[in-house]
A and B are shown apart, each in its own frame.
Chain A
Amino acid sequence: AQSVTQLDSQVPVFEEAPVELRCNYSSSVSVYLFWYVQYPNQGLQLLLKYLSGSTLVKGINGFEAEFNKSQTSFHLRKPSVHISDTAEYFCAVSVKFSGGYNKLIFGAGTRLAVHP
């Protein structure tokens, strides 16, 4: 069965510092991987996704993530964070059904707190 582990429940960081949010997944089949962000009182917004091809994917707001198949990881990075990046970040894996549909399995989330 597929599962997603986000290793850090909270990550405090100072503004303009780099940040890495860790995500590991387990799956016996090929997966599609996603990072979503949830700002306070808002829904889940897609940051980036890995479907195939280049293992380094770039998303919105300067975030990027690297798919590492051997380590079953999909860590999210940003070289310099802003106060506005303060939010909850969710890693998710897409599980494909036989009919071509999919469902997302989410990690527990990492709360990124950027301090001035």
Chain B
Amino acid sequence: EPEVTQTPSHQVTQMGQEVILRCVPISNHLYFYWYRQILGQKVEFLVSFYNNEISEKSEIFDDQFSVERPDGSNFTLKIRSTKLEDSAMYFCASSEGGSQETQYFGPGTRLLVL
């Protein structure tokens, strides 16, 4: 069964450093998403991406964040200058279609900013 994959599974970085989280969505999916979950808190929507552009972003998704689909398979989330409060589990998701379609989630990347 096709699945969403994410790398790395864990990443530790120093405050102020740039990190890139990688995701490979399911191959025939057209909509891509990033969510995050700070320890002990809810899973929160960050951004959705369709047709090579951001379709919606949350208040959390400020100028420090960017997303890209650099090739036909990868979908990346970049944090330019990490802060302590960026420590969280980051989930990538993809869906075949839009509003009614199920979003399939990857296993997540646990980011720790020191």
Contact A43 B108 (CB under 8 A): yes
- Give A108 to B100 CA distance when docked, in angstroms: 22
- Flag A72-116 by CB within 8 Å of B: 1 or 0 each: 000000000000000000101010110111111111110000000
- Give A43 to B102 CA distance when docked, in angstroms: 14
Contact B42 A32 (CB under 8 A): no
Contact B98 A90 (CB under 8 A): no
Contact B105 A99 (CB under 8 A): no
Interface assignment of B104: CB less than 8 Å from any CB of chain A? yes
Of the candidates A36, A51, A94, A101, which one forms a contact with B31 in the assembled complex, judged by CB atoms under 8 Å apart? A101
Chain B contributes a number of interface residues (CB within 8 A of A) equal to 28
Interface assignment of B103: CB less than 8 Å from any CB of chain A? yes
Of the candidates B4, B44, B98, B103, which one forms a contact with A100 in the assembled complex, judged by CB atoms under 8 Å apart? B98
Contact A103 B33 (CB under 8 A): yes
- Known A44-B91, A100-B99; contact A106-B43, beta-carbon cutoff 8 A: yes
- B100 proximity list for chain A (CB < 8 A): 32, 51, 94, 102
Contact B99 A101 (CB under 8 A): yes
Contact B91 A97 (CB under 8 A): no
Interface assignment of B56: CB less than 8 Å from any CB of chain A? yes
A interface, CB within 8 angstroms of B: 32, 34, 36, 41-46, 49, 51, 90, 92, 94, 96-97, 99-109
15 of the cross-chain contacts (CB-CB < 8 Å) are A36-B105, A43-B6, A46-B102, A90-B43, A94-B100, A96-B98, A99-B98, A100-B99, A101-B99, A102-B99, A103-B48, A104-B35, A105-B45, A107-B42, A109-B42
B interface, CB within 8 angstroms of A: 4, 6, 31, 33, 35, 41-45, 48, 50, 55-56, 58, 91, 93, 98-108
